[in-house]
C-alpha cells in the first residue's frame, strides 16, 4: 500500500530509502533536537492559528520548550488567543530595532511567544541581506531558554 507521500518520495528519489536527503544534514547537525513545525494554508479561516496555539500548548504540557511565532502577515492574532499584549513584534526585528530574542514573551500557558505584525507586507519583499538577517535571527532562537 502506498502512503500519501509516495509520489513526493519518488519525485525526490527517496522512495524505498531510509536515507535522509543531504540538504537536511546541516540543519539536523546544528539543531540539537530542535524541531520546527510550520502550519500553513492558502485559505483563511481554516483554523491555522487555533491549531498552532493548541499544538504549542500540548507540547509544553509534555515538558517541551516551545516558542510559537505568529507568522501571519495579514491578520496576526495569536496574541489574542494567548491573552498577551505584545509591546514588540516581527516588524521591529525586520527593521533592526529589536532581535527575536528581545521580543520573546512568556505566557500563562507555559509557552514562549513572538508576535506577528498585522498588515506586514514588507516581509514578502525582503532583500537578500534582509532575508539573511531574518534567518540568522531564527537560528539564534535555538539558544533561547
Is residue 75 within 8 A of residue 44, CB to CB? The reply is yes
Asked whether residue 40 falls in the same domain as residue 25, the answer is no
Is residue 113 within 8 A of residue 82, CB to CB? The reply is yes
pLDDT tens digit sequence for 66-125: 999 998 877 889 999 999 999 999 989 988 999 999 999 999 999 999 999 887 777 778
Asked whether residue 46 falls in the same domain as residue 117, the answer is yes
Asked whether residue 79 falls in the same domain as residue 15, the answer is no
> Is the model more confident about 38 or about 23?
38
Asked whether residue 40 falls in the same domain as residue 26, the answer is no
Helix runs in 42-119, H state only: 48-61, 78-82, 90-94, 100-103
Query: What is the structure's pLDDT at 25?
Result: 44
Look at the chain and report how many structural domains it folds into.
2
Quickly tell me which residue has 514588540 as its cell: 88
Dist CA 60 CA 47 (whole Å): 20
Asked whether residue 21 falls in the same domain as residue 44, the answer is no
Owning domain of residue 18: 1-30
Asked whether residue 23 falls in the same domain as residue 42, the answer is no
Question: pLDDT grade, residue 50 (50/70/90)?
Answer: very high
Residue 65 has pLDDT above 80, yes or no: yes
Residue 111's CATH number:
3.40.50.300
Asked whether residue 81 falls in the same domain as residue 105, the answer is yes
Asked whether residue 88 falls in the same domain as residue 122, the answer is yes
Q: Which cell numbers hold the place of 136?
A: 540568522
Q: Which cell numbers hold the place of 125?
A: 519583499
- Phi/psi at 114 (5° precision): -120, 120
Query: What is the structure's pLDDT at 39?
Result: 92
Asked whether residue 65 falls in the same domain as residue 20, the answer is no
Query: What is the structure's pLDDT at 4?
Result: 59
Dist CA 91 CA 128 (whole Å): 17
Dist CA 69 CA 53 (whole Å): 10
Q: Is the pTM of this model over 0.95?
A: no
Query: What is the structure's pLDDT at 22?
Result: 46
Asked whether residue 77 falls in the same domain as residue 125, the answer is yes
Query: What is the structure's pLDDT at 57?
Result: 97
Amino acid at each position: 500500500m502506498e502512503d500519501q507521500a509516495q509520489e513526493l518520495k519518488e519525485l525526490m528519489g527517496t522512495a524505498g530509502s531510509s536515507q535522509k536527503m543531504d540538504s537536511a544534514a546541516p540543519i539536523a547537525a546544528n539543531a540539537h533536537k530542535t524541531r520546527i513545525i510550520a502550519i500553513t494554508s492558502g485559505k483563511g479561516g481554516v483554523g491555522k492559528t487555533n491549531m498552532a496555539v493548541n499544538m504549542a500548548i500540548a507540547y509544553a504540557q509534555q515538558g517541551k520548550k516551545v516558542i510559537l511565532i505568529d507568522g501571519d502577515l495579514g491578520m496576526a492574532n495569536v496574541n489574542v488567543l494567548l491573552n498577551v499584549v505584545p509591546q514588540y513584534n516581527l516588524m521591529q526585528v525586520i527593521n533592526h530595532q529589536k532581535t527575536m530574542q528581545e521580543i520573546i514573551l512568556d505566557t500563562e500557558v507555559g509557552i514562549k511567544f513572538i508576535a506577528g505584525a498585522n498588515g506586514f507586507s514588507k516581509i514578502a519583499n525582503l532583500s537578500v541581506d534582509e532575508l539573511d538577517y531574518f534567518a540568522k535571527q531564527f537560528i539564534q532562537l535555538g539558544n533561547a531558554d
